[in-house]
Chains A and B, each alone.
Chain A
Amino acid sequence: MLNRFLKKLAGTAAAVALTAMALAAPGAATAKTDLTMYYPVAVGGPLTSIIDGMVADFMKENPDVNVKAIYAGNYNDARIKALAALKSGQPAQLSVMFSIDLYELIEQDAIVAFDDVVKTDADKAWLKSFYPTLMENGTTAGKTWGIPFQRSTIVMYYNKDAFRAAGLDPEKAPATWQELVAAGKKLTKADGSQWGVMIPSTGYPYWMFGALAMQNGQTLMNGAGNATYFDAPATVEALQFWKDLGEKYGVMPKGTIEWGTLRKNFLEGKTAIMWHSTGNLTKVKTNAKFDFGVAMLPASKRRGTPTGGGNFYIFKKTTPEERVAAMKLIKFMTSPERSAEWSMKTGYMGISPASYQTQKLQDYVKGFPYAAVARDQLEFATAELSTFQTGRVRKALDDAIQAALTGAKSPAEALGEAQATATRLLKPYK
């Protein structure tokens, strides 16, 4: 009795399985891999439509992959949304996120290293095809975790008309700190209607400061992300110089300078020089009513700027098929042709030497040489401040910078405190 029942059951099961296979078979032949990708937009402009267009092109070339690209706000929002999706069990497979989110994502065990995804030698060579400086924020512990996508550096925008009016050579931007101060003094008008230079100190003070410190020959953190050098003599000197621009030399307004309104200050002629992201290039180009120039940041001991911007990450909770599809998408989006197109439309830089070899970007640079300043400056660039506990460490530095600039504390005192905070926060990661 029982035997017969079991036999029957087995028979039914087999039949069901066969039917299921039969039903599944045609599906498997055209099985699509679904990918969800979050991406942030940090600067103005119709960037979402550019990305949507690139994704649509990708799906046309790869009909077996279905990509859902979701605009997720600024860098902060994108990270929050991606991590929240991860916790809720409906994760995205890949995402563009802030390059400096690296350690947070590793600590949350959220991402997988590209070294563990790439298989072929061609893929391994592809990993090496980008500018090495742009890889710095994406590599730690001997592995590559992020592939550069929307990347920028800080450049110096200057008003050539103001330079002419002050008797300066408009084709020769200040190349050293001394020249910056000297030019600033000539450019600053006594009635306050025009300042020599403005370096923004709200929003991303640590980013601007990374440039000054690098110019003074000092990086702000180590490659393992567990030590900072905020109180190194060269770092303190760099902050002293920033403060002196306002207090000693009087070429920059005292107090902090607002990131958000700085571009307007420059466009209205209230400052002759501003330091800002290359991401503003296209906006300045369209809106400037005067003759303007773009140059590399000046040098103290050397030139220097941090890189900035967003990288591609692949999440850990992915099937092998999804990883293959995600790799395809990332390769497509970072290919020289696409990177060149992206750079021209946004002002972000091309991410590989090959992208600047493409015909269209070469033509564009010929007509508008300033588009290449960020690339030429890469030679002197360094990683953006990124450590474990990165939010708190960054905040400690931001507060120290603002305290020094507003005169609440001396640079040495403020940076000493920031270093003490960072050391305490990073102790468990040694």
Chain B
Amino acid sequence: MTVSRDLMRHVHGWLLLTPAAILLIAFTHYPMVATLIDSFYSKGSAIRPSRFVGLGNYDSMMADPIFWKVLVNNMWFALGTIPVSIALAISMAMLVNQTLPGRSFLRMAYFTPTILPMIAVANIWLFFYSPYIGLIDQIAGWFGLPGHNWLGDPDTVLPAIIVMTIWKEAGFFMIFYLAALQHIPPELREAARLEGATRWYFFRRVLFPLLMPTTLFVLINAVLNSFKLVDHLFVLTKGGPDNASNLLLYYIFESAFSYFDTNYAATLTVVLLALLAVMALAQFFVLDRRIHYR
């Protein structure tokens, strides 16, 4: 009696899980495994069918200078965008968390870049950066500064893209911080003031630790985005000049759809997956221990 009831409970549980499990397997796990398998085969065409090459694709990847270039670029892109956009997000959230005139307008203004699609943003910024006719060069012109070819110079193209990404992302992260700030009881601030803590001390020892759960969430999202967001490259630079702004995911797209080398694209995708998995795990296990959850 009890056995069958127990069994029924299990069956019930599994039945409830089935729809989600099917979706997960079909759209997440199966593609991952298929990608891994694909990465062990050579590029196939009607004339020369694909064959098993073992780690051959990985060998050519290690020897591919563009792969290393995009990896390093991606690292700088992540380092350039994440800390600044998080810092900006916190400052903006604290600013619009106060009572000040036109607060909702300011909140909306900060959030607007997030609402815009990345392609639209890139098209706007393309004209900001455009030499001589662009907004930036026109403003620089008022001060007598010479124009600069922002996207055409390998030294400035990646920083230019980083600045645009920060502009786009910071408002999005601000929303999470704003929500978190509104859940912090005002008594804490009053208590700190009574104790004579400075504002900076209060931020460093009270506010920031309390925001840590949000920071972890935002950090994971920011890291993922720094690898996932490449829409702007299609509009702004196509990875150029000479791969100076090429990122890993854009290179995967190029391999798959410009070169039709889906197997090399699969190889690169495996690397991307591994990178993201390692970073997500590291953040969960290392940072999570140091976070104070209420």
Residues of B within 8 A of A195 (CB): 132
Contact among B132, B154, B257 for A76, CB-based, below 8 A: B257
Pairs across A and B, CB under 8 Å, 26 listed: A76-B258, A83-B260, A108-B45, A109-B46, A192-B132, A192-B146, A192-B147, A202-B151, A202-B237, A202-B238, A254-B152, A255-B149, A255-B153, A260-B126, A261-B126, A264-B130, A265-B132, A270-B132, A391-B254, A398-B240, A399-B66, A399-B240, A400-B242, A403-B241, A405-B241, A408-B154
Shortest Cβ distance from residue A411 to the other chain B in the assembled complex, whole angstroms: 13
Considering the chains assembled together, what is the distance between the CA atoms of A195 and B131 in angstroms? 11
Q: Do A391 and B258 touch (CB < 8 A)? A: yes
Which residues on B sit within 8 Å (CB–CB) of A192? 132, 146-147
A107 touching B235 in the complex, CB below 8 Å, given contacts A201-B241, A256-B149: no
Q: Is the CB of A265 within 8 A of B45?
A: no
Q: Is the CB of B238 within 8 A of A270?
A: no
| B242-A399 in contact (CB<8A) | yes
On chain B, the residues within 8 Å of A109 by CB distance are: 45-47
Chain B residues 138 to 175 lying within 8 A of chain A, measured CB to CB, are 146-147, 149, 151-154
Q: A76-B258, A254-B152 given. 7 additional CB < 8 A pairs?
A: A83-B260, A108-B45, A109-B47, A201-B241, A256-B149, A258-B126, A403-B242
Check if B91 is an interface residue, CB within 8 A of chain A.
no
| Interface membership of A253, Cβ < 8 A | yes
The CB with the most chain A CB atoms within 10 A, among B151, B153, B242, B257, is that of B242
Q: Which 10 residue pairs are nearest across A and B when measured between Cβ atoms? A: A109-B46, A255-B152, A402-B241, A256-B152, A391-B258, A391-B259, A255-B149, A402-B242, A403-B242, A256-B241
Q: Is A175 among interface residues, defined by CB-CB distance under 8 A?
A: no
- Interchain Cβ contacts within 8 Å, total number: 100
B243 at the interface (CB under 8 A from A): yes
Question: Which chain A residues (228-252) contact chain B, with CB distance < 8 Å?
Answer: none
Q: Which residues of A contact B (CB under 8 A)?
A: 76, 80, 83, 104, 107-110, 192-193, 195, 201-203, 253-258, 260-261, 264-265, 268, 270, 389, 391-392, 395, 398-400, 402-403, 405-406, 408, 428
Contacts of A405 in B (CB 8 A): 241
Q: Residue B133 at the A interface, CB < 8 A?
A: yes
B30 contacts the other chain (Cβ, under 8 Å)?
A: no
With contacts A192-B132, A202-B237, A255-B241 taken as known, whether A406 is within 8 angstroms of B153 at the C-beta atoms is yes
* Cβ A261 vs Cβ B242 within 8 A: no
Cα A290 to Cα B179 in complex, Å, equals: 54
List residues of chain A with CB within 8 A of the CB of B151. Answer: 202, 256, 258
List of B residues within 8 angstroms of A261 by Cβ: 126-127, 130, 133-134
B243 touches A108 (CB 8 A): no
CA distance A400 to B241 in the complex (A): 9
Contacts of B46 in A (CB 8 A): 107-110
- What's the nearest-Cβ distance from chain A to residue B192, in Å? 52
Contact B133–A265 (Cβ < 8 Å) = yes
- The answer, among A104, A253, A403, for a CB contact under 8 Å with B149, is A253
Q: Are B260 and A202 in contact (CB under 8 A)?
A: no
CA A76 to CA B234, docked complex, whole Å: 12
Most chain B Cβ neighbours within 10 Å, of A193, A254, A261:
A261
A259: nearest chain-B partner, CB-CB: B238
Residues 65-84 of chain B: 1 if any A CB is under 8 Å from the residue's CB, otherwise 0? 01000000000000000000
